[in-house]
Amino acid sequence: MSNPTGTVVDTHNHYWDIERSDLYWLTPDVERLYRSFTPPDLKPHMDAVGVQESVIVQAAHSRWDNLWWLQLAEQYPYVAAVVGCVDLEDPDVGMALDEYRQHPPFRGVRRRSAGAEDVSDPDWLARPDVHRGIGEVARRGLSLDLLVRTPHLRHVPALAAEHPGNCRW
């Protein structure tokens, strides 16, 4: 992706610490990925193809991971932004968002594992607590990444209509 300044940005990168990250999806049988990944692992590949900036996107669920990603963004100038995780169903989701927003690189949310991608309830996105959580994201002008399966798609237009111009979908 290229932005108006001409800077080439890779908008979706995952980093994790194999010892600390909440890697709900990673198992030892995925041998090539079963190790820690940090920005210096990606930097030579970025340089080889002319990418100047990277965006960290949620790969784990914990508060520790969010804070670590924000620390990486502060440590490596080529990490331009972080799209972290929050539990959209949590009554205190607004407080969590406000905590992360204290860090300028925090730009958005990728839903947590309780999200539509891995729940069997096809109406999860229509639940009032989920709508409230998405509203908290929208009120703060943050981006929202939802991983959904086909049965959940019917609820996406209503969410977009409920938050026009607030969430960047």
- Please calculate the CA angle 127-100-115 and round it to the nearest 5 degrees: 25
Q: Which residues constitute the domain of residue 43?
A: 1-85
Q: How many domains does the structure of the chain reveal?
A: 1
In terms of Cα–Cα distance, which of 82, 115, 113 is closest to 100? 82
pLDDT one digit per residue (tens) for the chain, 169 residues = 446 678 999 999 999 999 999 887 889 999 999 999 999 999 999 999 999 999 999 988 899 999 999 999 999 999 999 999 999 999 999 999 999 999 999 999 997 544 555 667 889 889 999 999 999 999 999 998 887 788 888 998 888 888 876 555 4
The verdict on residue 91 lying in a domain is: no
* CA angle (99 as vertex; 74, 134 as ends), nearest 5: 110
Give pLDDT, residue 124.
87
**Structural domain includes residue 22:** yes
Place of tokens 């959209």: 88
Q: Is residue 79 part of a domain?
A: yes
108 located within any domain: no
> What 3-state class would DSSP assign to 99?
helix
Residue 67 lies in a domain: yes
- Inside any domain, residue 123: no
E strand or H helix at 97: helix 93-101
On whether residue 120 sits in a domain, the answer given is no
Q: Is residue 3 part of a domain?
A: yes
Residue bearing tokens 């799209």: 83
